[in-house]
Amino acid sequence: MSEEAERELRRAVLRNKLSSIGACLLFMLLGGGLLVFTTIYIAGEIPAEFISYVPPAEDGPPSNAPVQKELTQKSSAPTAEVSPSVIVAQGATAVNMAPVNISTSEGLDFNTDFDMGLSMDGDLGAGLGDGGSGLGSGTAGGSALTGSLYDIKRTRTGSTPKDGIKLDSASHVVQADQYKLHEAVHNFTKTWSASALERYYKAKKPLYASNFMVPSCQAAYAPVAFGENPKEFKPAAWVLVYRGKVRAPKSGKFRFVGVGDDFIGVRFDRKTVLEAGWIIPSMYEKGKSHATGVSKEYKDAIKAGTDSKHRGYQIIPMDGLANWNAGPGGLIGGTVFDVKEGQIYPIEICMSEIGGSFGYALLIEELDSNGKSKAKYDKSGKVLNPQECFDLFRTNFSMPNEKELCELLTKAGFKTTSLPMPKFNPDSPIWTAVP
């Protein structure tokens, strides 16, 4: 490289260095200027101030209280810690509420008219509907299953067909027609579809129940509790169905344990898991008596485990339930099923009555991992520890009180009989009902 070319190269390198240094200095000056501008003109402090507010006297309700003197308005100096504006009320007036008169009753009054005195809104008195006990409450909402009552004697329009179920002078289904009720329950529980009952008259108002235990009483209680006229809805040959979904409180193996006069059945997770009472729908044979299900042969087959339609069923006699033990043999333990905690399952509960008196009880039992019951029995076969192994099936914290229910039923004019409630665990878990 010649000396002249080398000198020109050095000059080019020097010019590039000076240009780079100048550009850096220019960018630094621009950045610093932008920072100063932002700090001074944009991010400046907003001085805090207190704005006092005194409500005008005419805006408040009348009061005999002395007028409070207004406070002097003061402003605080701006600080770096406080920036928002604050509104402070310096005066207040007393709030006067108009007196409200609420009349209370000392008890239930069922002495007016038989129809109206039983609360035609579907809630039989202030006690039987509370918490979903009895047949339930007429008020929707909360954790409860929805119940519908069907009159098997009448068509959906309320007319009585010529070939319909006949009643005797005591409002019982005549012997020759008893199979017709058994047939209707059989047809329904084959599929548990509401369409199987659409041909029959349905009570206009539903009830909402959270536990399912009623001491035996006159069958007239059911139609009246559902707000029906007992002169039109005769107290015999009716079917009651509760529907909904429940959330399992824990994982494990369970079975329903129940008894019903004349029938109680449960379908859980789309499978029939319990049939109990004097009517056993799956045993129906056309023309046979409604009591086929509690024949000695049927009970012997359950005990021996040879009934193919009710494998795993167990007859559970309990002390203090003489009439239940003499009829179906005691409470009936149904089919074992598995659930997972928090999972939601559909459920239907069906009851039916042929006439006279009715009652039912529905419990649930948690079994061990092998499906074995925790119940212990005496030499006669009666369970010794029902309060330790049988829970009340309930969808909220409601708890049936047999004495209270019997007193209310008696006061309402319904006679109770000697088919009492079985014993159960008072701290039973909640199978929460969900929409």
Q: How far is CA 152 from CA 70, 170, 262, 381, in A?
A: 77, 17, 14, 38
Q: What is the pLDDT of residues 204-216, one digit of tens each?
A: 999 999 999 998 8
Q: What mean pLDDT comes out for the span 143-153?
A: 96
Q: Answer whether residue 260 shows pLDDT above 70.
A: yes
Contacts of 139 (CB under 8 A, 6+ apart): 123, 129, 208
Distance of CA 294 to the CA centre of its chain: 32
| Of 147 and 142, more confident | 147
Q: What mean pLDDT comes out for the span 218-225?
A: 92
Q: Answer whether residue 245 shows pLDDT above 90.
A: yes
Distance of CA 306 to the CA centre of its chain: 37
Residue 154 pLDDT level (bands cut at 50, 70, 90):
very high
- Report pLDDT for 173: 92
Which residue(s) pair with 3 in the sheet?
none
Q: What is the pLDDT of residues 50-63, one digit of tens each?
A: 555 555 544 444 44
**Do residues 414 and 230 lie in contact, with contact meaning Cβ atoms separated by under 8 Å?**
no
Q: What mean pLDDT comes out for the span 92-107?
A: 43
| Of 147 and 19, more confident | 147
Burial group, residue 84, by CB count within 10 angstroms (0-12, 13-18, 19+): exposed
Which pTM does this prediction carry? 0.70
Contacts of 290 (CB under 8 A, 6+ apart): 178, 179, 181, 182, 262, 278, 279, 354
Dist CA 121 CA 119 (whole Å): 5
Q: What mean pLDDT comes out for the span 116-141?
A: 55
Q: Answer whether residue 28 shows pLDDT above 70.
A: yes
DSSP annotation of 38 reads I
- Report pLDDT for 77: 47
Tokens in use for 267?
Answer: 């379908």
**Do residues 217 and 419 lie in contact, with contact meaning Cβ atoms separated by under 8 Å?**
no
- Report pLDDT for 46: 56
Query: What is the C-alpha radius of gyration for the chain, rounded to an integer number of angstroms?
Result: 38
Q: Answer whether residue 107 shows pLDDT above 50.
A: no
DSSP annotation of 263 reads E
Lowest-confidence segment of 109-113, 372-376, 387-391, 425-429 by average pLDDT:
109-113
| Of 411 and 432, more confident | 432
Residue 403 pLDDT level (bands cut at 50, 70, 90):
confident
User: Collapsing DSSP states into helix, strand and coil, what is residue 105?
Assistant: coil
Dist CA 303 CA 294 (whole Å): 12
**Do residues 354 and 262 lie in contact, with contact meaning Cβ atoms separated by under 8 Å?**
yes
Q: How far is CA 252 from CA 21, 86, 338, 364, 368, in A?
A: 79, 58, 6, 12, 8
Which residue(s) pair with 150 in the sheet?
202, 239
Q: What average pLDDT does the chain have?
A: 81
Q: What mean pLDDT comes out for the span 235-249?
A: 97
Residue 49 pLDDT level (bands cut at 50, 70, 90):
low
Q: Answer whether residue 104 shows pLDDT above 80.
A: no
Q: Answer whether residue 351 shows pLDDT above 50.
A: yes
Q: Answer whether residue 325 shows pLDDT above 90.
A: no
Q: What mean pLDDT comes out for the span 357-368?
A: 94
| Of 270 and 410, more confident | 270
Residue 102 pLDDT level (bands cut at 50, 70, 90):
very low
Q: Answer whether residue 44 shows pLDDT above 80.
A: no
Q: How far is CA 227 from CA 110, 140, 158, 214, 418, in A?
A: 14, 15, 15, 18, 26
Q: Answer whether residue 140 shows pLDDT above 90.
A: no
Q: Return the number of other C-beta atoms located less than 10 Å from residue 370's C-beta.
A: 6
Residue 16 pLDDT level (bands cut at 50, 70, 90):
confident
Q: What share of the chain has pLDDT > 70, as a percent?
A: 76
Q: Answer whether residue 292 shows pLDDT above 70.
A: no
Dist CA 231 CA 228 (whole Å): 9
- Report pLDDT for 47: 59
- What DSSP string describes 268-299? ETTEEEEEEES--GGG--TT--GGGGGSHHHH
Residue spans per domain, the chain: 45-102, 116-434
Q: Answer whether residue 118 shows pLDDT above 60.
A: no
Specify the length of the chain in residues. 435
Q: Answer whether residue 386 shows pLDDT above 90.
A: yes
| Of 341 and 111, more confident | 341
**Do residues 221 and 110 lie in contact, with contact meaning Cβ atoms separated by under 8 Å?**
no
Q: Answer whether residue 89 shows pLDDT above 80.
A: no
**Do residues 368 and 254 lie in contact, with contact meaning Cβ atoms separated by under 8 Å?**
no
Residue 68 pLDDT level (bands cut at 50, 70, 90):
very low
- 302: nearest Cα among 274, 332, 257, 325: 332
Lowest-confidence segment of 6-15, 207-216, 227-236, 380-389 by average pLDDT:
6-15
Cα four-point dihedral sign 248, 254, 256, 257? negative
**Do residues 303 and 292 lie in contact, with contact meaning Cβ atoms separated by under 8 Å?**
no
Cis peptide upstream of residue 262 (ω within 30 degrees of 0): yes
**Do residues 110 and 125 lie in contact, with contact meaning Cβ atoms separated by under 8 Å?**
yes
